[in-house]
A and B are shown apart, each in its own frame.
Chain A
Amino acid sequence: MRGKLILFTIIAITMTVLLMIIGCGNNKSSEVELLGAGATFPYPLYSKMFSEYYKEKGIRVNYQAIGSGGGIRQLLNKVVDFGGTDAFMSDGSLAKATAKILHIPTCLGAVVVTYNLPGNPKLKLTSDIIADIFLGKIKKWNDDRIKKLNPEVGLPDSNITVVHRSDGSGTTFIFSDYLSKVSKKWREKVGRGKSLNWPVGLGGKGNPGVAGLIKQTPNSVGYVELIYALQNNMPFATIKNKKGNFIVPSLKSVSLAAQINIPDDTRISLTDTDAEKGYPISSFTWIILYQEQNYNSRSYERAKATVDLLWWIIHNGQKYNKELEYAPLPASAVEKAEKILKSVIYNGKNIL
């Protein structure tokens, strides 16, 4: 008797597990739950947006902040409805995809140069000084070039400790993208990427890791996301932009950096732009999705829900940006994003 019972239990458990697996793979219940994965940078904003969206429309969105690279990979493997990325996909990686991938900008982020100096003074820096500090060429804080720009600051005669991200990240990509544009030496020696072969310095994991090292190490300098610096009251440098104006990084000056001609696919780097009052180390962050939404036997409802969600993000959702200290999209970018969303199709037919 007991033997049969055990056998029965084993069969019952197996059946349950199998049912669960089948159930997950074939989610055709009336309640669509959208799946997204990718960049960690906009995660706080997305989770706020998605929870508000659930309250409004009753559609759940599950976004996993696994990093931009992971988001792209998961979209290429077609296991998510959309991906999130801080760096737009290159032509090369777009060519590798089996179908056309679209980029929808959702908000703007910026990277600031933060430091730990006695008295936390306000520093002014130019692109070539930043490049030379991170290349290890400027070794001391009281270097003539820094002193000349900041005559009122008492700069110490001590070595600069450079702190960078140790993990691959969109923040590093934006920062190195900026330095590659403004410095030939940087472009040739280091280049742009999510992880770099750093010429000098210490690595910290994530924004908290870099911030922690900077706070602890006297005379250090590093880069973190603007939001992180704002939330943690860290000092950051005012940086001279391409037009020669010294710009304080703020939500406004970051949005202003996007006041330029944006290409139709919105894949553009916003570092070192021609914008008069724009902060030079800014960037869009994107949600990426397939133009043809019918893949992996996705239902029409699911495709429609995905597009509706993105439409909401670039319109109604934008009001949450400021609240969470993300720079909102400028009108020109919203216009382009609308056009892209209207081009999304299901079985060749427009969804919107």
Chain B
Amino acid sequence: MERIFFKFNKEIFSKRGDLKIAPLNNTYNWNLRQRIFNIVIFSMGIFIIIILAGILITLFYGSFPALKKFGLNFFINKEWDPVFNKFGSLPVLIGTLLTSFIALFISIFFSLSISILLGEYFKKGGFSNFIKTSVELLAAVPSVIYGFWGLFVIVPLIRTLEIKLTLPSYGVGIFTASLILAIMIIPYAASIGREMIELVPSDIKEAAYALGATRYEVIKKVILPYSKSGIIAGVFLALGRALGETMAVTMLIGNSNFIPKTIFHPCNTMASVIANEFTEATTEIYTSSLIEIGLILFFVTVIINLIGKYIIKKFTIETRRENG
């Protein structure tokens, strides 16, 4: 192992001449320090890979009894019955996807507007900084606080709305959870959207203006088509965040394992069922089913994140190529 580091050491630093950088110390000490430094940074990097692999292995290992017992039925089964040891993830799967996609749908309007505002209208200056900091602060608020705020402010509002619409007036439910989730994920989509809009080369914008396009037309016909895939990528990353959100959703979704009839009904998500039930899950198959839900959630978020990353990467390379 050390030999690899040493080799790496030599390859990188033999050209530069280490004596020039540290002329006062002798070479041996310099090398030693460099070696320790290399070992440290290398092991940190490897450590992260080990942790990720470790999580995956643990999840697989832990969910093995459930995988064996329920197989693919785990995805179709509607029942979640810890007393009679029947477990199916369909309601929580639906709950997770519904809350996340509704949240995404609501947040797109906000995040797109904010990214256009910051990426095109106010690129610099006090107002821009003010909005930018506010958006960043939205991301910094702990999710339990969103949960509290939702419980005391959004839930009564939704309940009034439900009474007016003559729906069952729970207050908590999918729609309430989605609203709070939407606010929570705005910063993620907005900041990536802004960066992508800023990447649009000014010469094509100027060309459009020269042709007599209005600002609205430039945004609609030049900027948005150009930065489309980047914005979508931002949305995907926000979706990844929404899928795994636990605390705020648990407080607002109503935690009942039914397939919802309307979006105002209470439901449950994968993350919240784990948070709620794991501590008291005593039988092996129960624990294992909860871990399998964790495994599914892990895969769903990883895939969503990878898609987002891939789109961003492809987009930035294309832009660079076109610009260069």
Contact = CB atoms under 8 A, between A and B. Distances in A.
B36 A166 contact: no
B183 to A, nearest CB: 20
Interface string B239-251: 0000000000011
Contact of B151 (A7, A191, A212): A212
Contact of B82 (A6, A196, A217): A196
B203 interface: no
B254 A2 contact: no
Contacts of B257: 197-198
B83 A190 contact: yes
A317 B119 CA distance: 67
Nearest to B30: A3
Contacts of A10: 36
Contact of B279 (A168, A197, A202, A204): A168
Interface in B55-96: 79-84, 86
Contacts, number: 111
B256 A3 contact: no
A157 to B, nearest CB: 14
B79 A197 contact: yes
Given A203-B254, A204-B255, A194 B282 contact: yes
B84 A191 contact: yes
Interface residues of A, number: 43
Contacts of B275: 167
A218 B160 CA distance: 11
Contacts of B254: 202-203
B17 interface: no
Contact of A6 (B33, B170, B255, B280): B33
Given A3-B29, A7-B36, A217-B159, A197 B82 contact: yes
18 contacts: A1-B29, A3-B30, A3-B33, A4-B32, A70-B279, A161-B170, A167-B276, A169-B280, A193-B82, A197-B82, A197-B86, A198-B256, A202-B170, A203-B256, A203-B276, A205-B251, A209-B251, A216-B151
Interface of B: 25, 29-30, 32-33, 36, 79-84, 86, 151, 155-156, 159, 168-172, 250-251, 254-257, 266, 268, 272, 275-277, 279-282
Given A3-B33, A161-B168, 8 more contacts: A7-B32, A70-B280, A167-B276, A167-B279, A167-B280, A195-B82, A202-B255, A216-B156
